[in-house]
Structure formats: structure tokens, C-alpha cells
Amino acid sequence: MPRPVPELVIHASELFAPLGHIRSKAMFGGWGFYCDELFFAIVVDETLYLKADADSAGRFRAAGGEPFRYAKKDGRMETMNYWTVPEEAMETPAGMRPWAQEALAAAVRARKPAKPPKSPKILQPRQKAKP
């Protein structure tokens, strides 16, 4: 039985709607968000975090954002490059747009390049052994 979708996930989906095809998926005790198949946001413990990277984390930090942290099994804290957004971004799709676009840009930059297709092997005719 699927678990109920939290209000925050519904609200975030509405905020992200103008960006493209949005879908959310329950995962790891939280929720993940995709925009046109790019993974760019998570909701964990009633908090929305957007994907960042070395190019964009400073902007999230400067706006008062906090990174996503979690405790590992051994008790150490791990930090992931997902950041909270300013409160006003949570109010309207227009307010969320620049932050979500930052997250989408980080998702694009993080995408691994597609592997080139393997070249078909060309079989050479066998040479007959000379007597």
C-alpha cells in the first residue's frame, strides 16, 4: 500500500509545476523530485532541500540555506549537497523559480556523460594456413 503524500510534497510539486513535468517519488524515508527526469530536490523530515554543487552552494549559503545532514550508522554526520531555500521561496512558484532553476542546473552538471555506443566488431576472414 503506497504511503500518503505529505502536504509539503504536494505544495512543493505545485511550486515546481511551471518548470516542466514534475513527479515525486517516495524514497529512503523521504521523497525525491524529478523535473523532466532530472532528480533535483528532496523532502526529508518535513524540510525541502534543492540540489546544489560547487557552482551554486555558495548562493544557497548566502541566502541563509542549510545543507542536508544525516547520521550514518556509525554515528558520524554526513552532509549532502542539497540545501534549504529562503522562506519566501516557499510562498509562490515565482519565488521558487530561481532556486529550482539553480537546482536543475546543478542536476544537469552532475549528469554523467552518455557512454558512446560500442563499435560493432568487424570479423576478418580467416587466413588459411600455408602448408
Each residue's pLDDT tens digit, 75-119: 999 999 999 999 999 999 999 999 999 999 999 999 877 666 676
More reliable by pLDDT, 94 or 2: 94
Task: Indicate whether 131 pLDDT > 90.
Answer: no
Task: Give all domains of the chain, ordered by start, each with its CATH number.
Answer: 7-110 (3.30.1460.30)
What is the chain's alpha carbon radius of gyration, rounded to the nearest angstrom?
A: 22
For 36-74, letters b (16+ CB in 10 Å) and e give eebbbbbbbeeebbbbbeeebbeebeeeebeebeeeeee
Each residue's pLDDT tens digit, 39-55: 999 999 999 999 999 99
pLDDT of amino acid 123: 62
How many Å apart are CA 47 and CA 112, to the nearest integer? 28
Helix-, strand-, coil-residue percentages of the chain, each rounded to 5: 30, 25, 40
